[in-house]
Chain A
Amino acid sequence: MKVPSSIVPYIQVAPLALILLVFFGIPLVTVVVVSFFDYVNFQTVPAFMLYNYEEVFTSGLTITLYLTMLKYSVIVWLITLFIGFNVAYFLVFHVQSLLWKIFLFLVCTVPFWTSNIIRMISWIPVLGRNGLVNQMLISLGLIDEPLDFLLFSDFSVIVAYVHLFTLFMVVTLFNSMARIDPAILEAAVDAGASRWQVITQIVIPLTKTGIALGSIFVVTLVMGDFFVVKIMSGGQSSSAVYAMWNEISMLQYPSAAASAVILLIVVVLMVVAILRVVDVRKELSG
């Protein structure tokens, strides 16, 4: 039997499309539908009501929660962008041997393939009251009392996020910087541009796509975070996702679904805002 070549792509893409449809499309619709349902005594009852959304919006807790998460994502975004830019710039423009470039790039990416939870809790013995940083500072005589703000605070939450997610900035920025023709930079230098001008007027505009993609990764990962805030803040604050998890464990599926929909809308708005600034598709094809 000969398969007509026009339907070959459909056969090839079918498994992926089917899996995404069943395990992404249908669940997405289900959550949206359930967010309008009612729940009585831990039982979910089909209905159409906006109560779940009213509940989320009128609770001052939600606003604080989202403001905290936004604060974390902006701070983490700025730090990861700064680190990612400098690391990628070093790898692309300063390391000259290709073998070293690949090796150092792999050194940066290997942690990505290991467990996130383990990488996160590895900060506990470092930042804790009797941790390495405090021990070192005390033995150097810089402080007398251990610093308490290091662990289970905003500080440790941000450190953990930066540790987990900087990689996405490094990889995406490396990718777009590597496509810049070094001749352009040489031309700029020959024409008398300063280092700073080369960076702001050539490198940054040409790496816009990488910056946008990296930002999307970092922002969505922070907003979708489950446990980093919970564990690294010592249980003092929680993430939007963790709040949702609490509702799920109390079997309040409709209100959890409403929180999920709101979270998704916030994340999508952030992604759209980033794409507004940089048209990734145009840049990728162009």
Chain B
Amino acid sequence: MAQYRKRSWTFYVLATFFILFVLFLYGPMLAIYILSFQGPTGGLTFPLNGVSLHWFGALFEQQRTGDFAGSFTRSILLAFLVMICTVTFSVMAGLAFRRRFFGSTAIFYMAVASLVMPGLFLSLGIGLIFRVIDVPTNWYVSALGAQLTWTLPFGLLIMFAVLSRFNRSYEEAARDLGATNRQTLQYIVLPILFPGLIAVALFGFTLSYDEFPRTLLTVGPGNTLPLEIYAMTTTVTSPALYALGTVTTVVSFAAIILSLGSIAIIQWRRGGRFRK
């Protein structure tokens, strides 16, 4: 054992490889966050020509960079809707899949197929249906549905992973003590699964907030943020684009820190209670 676990040369080679990989992941992103603070006369590349918040201000001047504020609000609202639906429906479905029932395999395969489906295919299909039934597409019905075909399978797979570690004897103990189904769910199952639910919520929020092809033909008249950013890549040739990148990343990071932080706190408190 000691022979294998000893820090051999492969450890140092792989550690270096890992560090390079992390640099590769974060380096370019850091570059644009720094460049978004470019001075008013600065360009799209280094060096920085002074430091300013000029380009963040430019985001809010509608004519120059499109409808940033509108698409930002729309994206956040949509992401919250998707998050709520994803958590509720994939948790329910996850609980259902603990038993074999007629049609469970078919539904599972439908979810997997929905996950690997090219997004624009789906977008086109939903767009065509709304055209046929003559209802205008909009972000809170058609785009919401389109995004759910992507987040629900993700949520379901996470629920499978979470539930496979769930010990059913807690549930049985609650029943034996006379708890109703509802009480078992409310006081036993959901509290135990809670960290997993936060993970599903994080995926629901961030996958929706960044969704592109499925939203493209289903969003209707107003853009979501990724569509707006995509449009900007072809029209805007100023650091305002980077400023937008920084702003969206701040939102993503807020979501990540909030969810991972609360999972950490819950696990820590649980650990504490066990020790007492």
Contacts of B248 in A (CB 8 A): 114-115, 118
A9, A23, A87: the one contacting B96 at CB < 8 Å is A9
Contacts of A118 in B (CB 8 A): 29, 32, 229, 244-245, 248-249
Given A121-B245, A122-B32, A113 contacting B101 (CB threshold 8 A): no
Complex Cα distance, B233 from A227, in Å, reads 11
**A31 sits at the interface (CB 8 A):** yes
A90 to B, closest residue via Cβ: B14
Interface centre among B4, B11, B88 (most CB of A within 10 A): B4
A135–B233 touching, CB < 8 Å: no
A241–B120 touching, CB < 8 Å: yes
Contacts of B90 in A (CB 8 A): 16
Given A94-B15, A111-B25, A118-B32, A260 contacting B45 (CB threshold 8 A): no
**How would residues 124 to 163 of chain B score, 1 for a CB under 8 Å from any chain A CB and 0 otherwise?**
1110110010000000000001101100110010000000
B116–A121 touching, CB < 8 Å: no
A25, A86, A89: the one contacting B110 at CB < 8 Å is A25
**How would residues 216 to 236 of chain B score, 1 for a CB under 8 Å from any chain A CB and 0 otherwise?**
110000000110011001000
**B253 sits at the interface (CB 8 A):** yes
A231–B125 touching, CB < 8 Å: no
- B-contacting residues, A79-120, CB 8 Å: 83, 86-87, 89-91, 94, 96, 104, 106-108, 110-119
Nearest-neighbour CB distance to chain B for A24, whole angstroms, equals: 4
Complex Cα distance, B152 from A103, in Å, reads 27
Interface centre among B21, B153, B212 (most CB of A within 10 A): B21
Complex Cα distance, B21 from A87, in Å, reads 8
B15, B114, B117: the one contacting A264 at CB < 8 Å is B117
Q: How many of chain A's residues touch chain B, expressed as a range? A: 35 or more
B9 to A, closest residue via Cβ: A195
Complex Cα distance, B122 from A145, in Å, reads 46
Complex Cα distance, B192 from A12, in Å, reads 19
Interface centre among A16, A107, A244, A257 (most CB of B within 10 A): A16
Complex Cα distance, B199 from A58, in Å, reads 47
Complex Cα distance, B259 from A106, in Å, reads 12
**B265 sits at the interface (CB 8 A):** no
B233–A121 touching, CB < 8 Å: yes
Given A108-B22, A113-B202, A117-B229, A12 contacting B96 (CB threshold 8 A): yes
A20–B229 touching, CB < 8 Å: no
Contacts of B89 in A (CB 8 A): 15-16, 19
Q: Which stretch of A60-68, A70-78, A126-134, A203-211 is in the interface?
A: A126-134
- B-contacting residues, A6-61, CB 8 Å: 8-10, 12-13, 15-17, 19-28, 30-31, 34
**B276 sits at the interface (CB 8 A):** no
B101–A111 touching, CB < 8 Å: no
Complex Cα distance, B94 from A205, in Å, reads 30
Contacts of B117 in A (CB 8 A): 24, 28, 224, 264
A195 to B, closest residue via Cβ: B10
Complex Cα distance, B210 from A130, in Å, reads 29
Nearest-neighbour CB distance to chain B for A224, whole angstroms, equals: 4
Complex Cα distance, B126 from A120, in Å, reads 27
- A-contacting residues, B191-211, CB 8 Å: 202, 206, 209-210
Contacts of B5 in A (CB 8 A): 96
B44, B206, B230, B255: the one contacting A124 at CB < 8 Å is B44
Nearest-neighbour CB distance to chain A for B216, whole angstroms, equals: 8
B31–A12 touching, CB < 8 Å: no
Nearest-neighbour CB distance to chain A for B31, whole angstroms, equals: 5
A21 to B, closest residue via Cβ: B110
**A278 sits at the interface (CB 8 A):** no
Complex Cα distance, B150 from A279, in Å, reads 24
Contacts of A125 in B (CB 8 A): 28, 31-32, 35, 44-46, 242
**B1 sits at the interface (CB 8 A):** yes
Interface centre among A113, A131, A260 (most CB of B within 10 A): A113
**B256 sits at the interface (CB 8 A):** yes
Contacts of B4 in A (CB 8 A): 185-186, 189
Contacts of B110 in A (CB 8 A): 17, 20-21, 24-25
B1–A260 touching, CB < 8 Å: no
Complex Cα distance, B107 from A162, in Å, reads 32
A21, A130, A248: the one contacting B217 at CB < 8 Å is A248
A20–B107 touching, CB < 8 Å: yes
**B170 sits at the interface (CB 8 A):** no
Contacts of B244 in A (CB 8 A): 118
B252 to A, closest residue via Cβ: A114
Given A16-B93, A23-B146, A260-B121, A241 contacting B213 (CB threshold 8 A): yes
Question: What are the 4 closest A-B residue pairs judged by CB atoms, nearest first?
Answer: A27-B125, A224-B118, A12-B96, A23-B145
